Chain A
Amino acid sequence: MATKAYDKSFREEVYQNVDSGEDVKLCMQCGVCGITCPLRGEMTHGPRQLWSLIRAGKRDEVMNSPDIMLCTSCYSCKVRCPRGVKVIDVMHGLAHYALEQGIVPRKETSKFGKAFWDSIYKTGRVDETEVPMRYTLMAGPIHGIFNMLEMMDIGRALLAHKRMKFKIGPGLPPSKKIKGMKGLKKMLDKAKAMSPGKEG
């Protein structure tokens, strides 16, 4: 009935390899990070439980938890943590650590990141029509059309408020490129070469 737990190897790994991982030692499990997080409803564990799992040596749960890719860096948790745990740094740190090992705990975030990146890489800007279009079509054209039909109300409102331009499809018409695109491309190529993983 009891599960074996608290092997120290995983937590030692996290302390050493994850950005600000040592902060996790100090967590007193008060739960303020979780209640404060605006994304907590979407998360499976929440930051508090993740720290508990790390200390308990539950590698699989932590590495595969979609939570680590849901952090929006709003800083609500970090300012409130009574023990000064740099929650955001650890959350992103865990995400990087997972991606380095080829684990992608949340595919949607990864896909959105790719759409975001592609837009910047090609045009130097985040086109607000282009990126959502690319994202919704990533799962295939049929899915994409259904997705878009679902979001029709939002789309109409965005068009009415001129937040979105009307396009037939991605790149039709193409977004304007920025000036100095060559320089930007050089920077982005260098960044890509420096770190593994493509997610934004």
Chain B
Amino acid sequence: MVKEANPEAAVYVIYKDIRTPGQSEEVYREAQRKGVVFIRRDEDYPKISESGGKLAIETKDMTLNDTVEIDELDMVVLATGLKPNNPKVVDAPLVALGMDQEAAKKLAAESKAQCDSWSVLNLQYRQGPNLPTLKYAYPDSHFICFPYETRRTGIYTAGAVRRPMRVSQAVEDATGAALKAIQAAHAAAEGVAVHPRSGDMSFPEFAMQRCTQCKRCTEECPFGAINEDEKANPLPNPTRCRRCGVCMGACPERIISFKNYSVDMIGSMIKSIDVPEEDEEKPRVIVLACENDALPAIDMAARKGHKWSPYIRFIPVRCLGSVNLVWIADALSSGIDGVMLFGCRHGEDYQCHFIKGSELANVRMSKISETLDRLVLESDRVRVEEISFNEVDRIPEIISEFMETIEEVGPNPYKGF
């Protein structure tokens, strides 16, 4: 360092923030002991000028609350920050939520084009050659539980690709990613899924003869696991599949099923629920709860002794994204008064373990409210709720609020048909 080579040298560090991760506070102190002077500036960048072969810096000094000029400098070193060069790729379903359709489509296309014009990975995925990015344009997946994950099965990010970090942290990070990769390799060899459904031996099967090439499954799969042939028929890749069932929920023709989880199974479950007659004045409400956050939360609430309406029936699903709209139709046509969908949080601070599932459910339900209105069924009968595992105590409140709404709208007119 400069001071070690020449203790007489005047060294200044002009900063806006000082971050000393790990033990590097000691580096800061050592620099100060050697006489480096730290000057705090505000948002504006300092101005550098040259005069007579020497440099001068003009900067706002927050501790003096004045603008100062330091001249007769021999060298100015600029510190550069880290920024991901992968621009934010905006997914089509997200785009459909609230944003003006045309503007949203344009934005999505622009982002994708910008991103696809170069690619380090060059993936042969129908959804694009790059890793999809989320918040801050980093390629994250379920960052809370699965930090090295990306939305491409088998590809693990480590180091500054994932977030800004120092070399020592990157080394640790790489170790973690390698361990995850070993797990993935084992899983692929055994033909089972990786997390969150680790060890799952089922995989989605497609009854191709009824496929209408609508492309919903290929576009909406959070992991891009379904490719397309030239005729837009889906080409599933079982090793990339996480068995979330989002494709199953998306398919309007219901051609996708798992051996242990299908549209028919849950549909039959719903249709066989006993619905009291209208004159009994007992409503019937079903709750479709995702197995990742919602179902454990309900379980915890029950164990804590919370009580709620006895008129509810709970049905676990793999992910709210796997909820096929026909189940809503089945429920309402059986005379069931209300359907609640409990799932993980979506949006910027998402918790959805399959990243997009909860969001897609929200979008799909917002679209059927129009259909419901046409059938003279109140759109209030179907509601999507975000349940986080630490909001266990809110569950009775959420349920009773919904039961109140159901009481207000009255019994399902299709009861007894």
Contacts and interface: CB of A to CB of B under 8 A. Distances in A.
B68 interface: yes
A8 interface: yes
B40 interface: yes
Given A25-B35, A52-B64, A5 B40 contact: no
A185 B66 CA distance: 51
A8 B61 contact: no
Given A29-B63, A55-B37, A56-B61, A2 B69 contact: yes
Contact of A56 (B35, B64, B67): B64
A28 to B, nearest CB: 8
A161 interface: no
Residue in A11, A56, A58 with the greatest tally of chain B CB atoms within 10 Å: A56
A3 interface: yes
Interface string B387-410: 000000000000000000000000
Interface string A48-77: 110011011010000000000000000000
B307 interface: no
A5 B64 contact: yes
A6 B63 contact: no
A11 B12 CA distance: 13
B40 A29 contact: yes
Given A25-B32, A25-B33, A5 B63 contact: no
Interface residues of A, number: 21
B190 interface: no
Nearest to A15: B35
B72 to A, nearest CB: 9
B166 interface: no
Interface residues of B, number: 21
Most buried by A among B28, B38, B64, B69: B64
A8 B66 CA distance: 18
Nearest to B11: A8
A52 B32 contact: no
Interface string A1-31: 1111110100100010000000001101100
B274 interface: no
A2 B58 contact: yes
B68 A2 contact: yes
B306 interface: no
A1 B61 CA distance: 13
A8 B68 contact: no
A53 B58 contact: no
Contacts of A3: 66-69
A48 to B, nearest CB: 8
Contact of A2 (B29, B32, B37, B67): B67
B10 interface: yes
Contacts of B40: 29
B373 interface: no
A54 to B, nearest CB: 10
Contact of B63 (A1, A4, A26, A49): A49
B29 A6 contact: no
Interface string B50-74: 0000000010010110111111000
Nearest to B59: A2
A26 B29 contact: yes
B76 to A, nearest CB: 14
Nearest to A58: B64
B70 A5 contact: yes
A8 B10 contact: yes
Interface string A23-50: 0011011000000000000000000110
A26 B33 contact: yes
Nearest to A61: B64
Nearest to B39: A6
A3 B60 CA distance: 10
A1 B32 CA distance: 29
B23 to A, nearest CB: 16
Interface in B2-21: 10, 12
A49 B63 CA distance: 7
Given A5-B68, A5-B69, A49-B64, 13 more contacts: A1-B67, A4-B69, A5-B70, A6-B37, A6-B68, A8-B10, A15-B35, A25-B32, A26-B32, A28-B32, A29-B40, A29-B63, A49-B63
| The 4 nearest A-B residue pairs measured at CB | A5-B68, A52-B63, A2-B69, A2-B67
7 contacts: A4-B68, A4-B69, A5-B69, A6-B10, A6-B12, A6-B68, A29-B63
